[in-house]
């Protein structure tokens, strides 16, 4: 069972932080420990990435109210700070570099996903090509 702490909330190993398909309105900053980001399709789970202290997760929910695209769960014990949209906007107003950091993170993730798509397409083409 998660417990409220002085800084953020502690999640135990395997505990769900956000669930794919739920509507979100906040992001999380990982203060301690690690989390894994997983997508479920057709009953099968795919781990997208593992994140650790200093990383953010769930940031897309700050910009849109679309359902969560993945599940995030603690990998071991992890402490996360929840930041809702109102607090996020207040912090950005105080320190605009926070917005730049979010854009950097999202940009890096888009670049990583684009590279993965290229690699997967190459593998698929190699499989589909008839042997010479």
Nearest of 46, 25, 26, 27 to residue 37 by alpha carbon: 46
pLDDT computed for residue 35 by the predictor: 98
Alpha-helical (H) ranges within the chain are 60-63, 85-94, 97-128
Coil, strand or helix: which one is 34?
strand
- What is the residue extent of each domain of the chain? 3-128
Q: Report residue 132's pLDDT band, with 50, 70 and 90 as the boundaries.
A: low
Q: Identify how many contiguous H helices and E strands the chain contains and give both numbers.
A: 3, 7
Residues 23-80: tens digit of each pLDDT? 988 999 999 999 999 999 999 999 999 999 989 898 888 888 788 999 999 999 999 9
Class of domain 3-128: mainly beta
Residues 85-128: tens digit of each pLDDT? 888 889 889 998 888 888 888 888 889 888 888 988 988 888 88
Q: What span, in angstroms and rounded, lies between the C-alpha atoms of 107 and 19?
A: 23
17 close to 72: Cβ distance less than 8 angstroms:
yes
Q: What span, in angstroms and rounded, lies between the C-alpha atoms of 103 and 60?
A: 10
């Amino acid at each position: 069972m998660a417990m409220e702490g002085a800084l953020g909330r502690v999640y135990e190993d395997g505990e769900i932080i956000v669930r794919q398909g739920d509507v979100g309105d906040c992001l999380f900053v990982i203060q301690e420990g690690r989390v894994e980001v997983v997508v479920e399709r057709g009953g099968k789970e795919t781990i997208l990435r593992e994140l650790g202290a200093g990383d953010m997760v769930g940031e897309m929910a700050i910009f849109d109210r679309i359902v969560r695209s993945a599940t995030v769960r603690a990998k071991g014990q992890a402490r996360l700070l929840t930041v809702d949209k109102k607090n996020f906007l207040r912090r950005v107003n105080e320190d605009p570099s926070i917005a730049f950091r979010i854009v950097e993170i999202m940009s890096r993730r888009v670049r990583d996903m684009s590279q993965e798509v290229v690699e997967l397409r190459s593998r698929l083409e190699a499989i589909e090509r008839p042997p010479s």
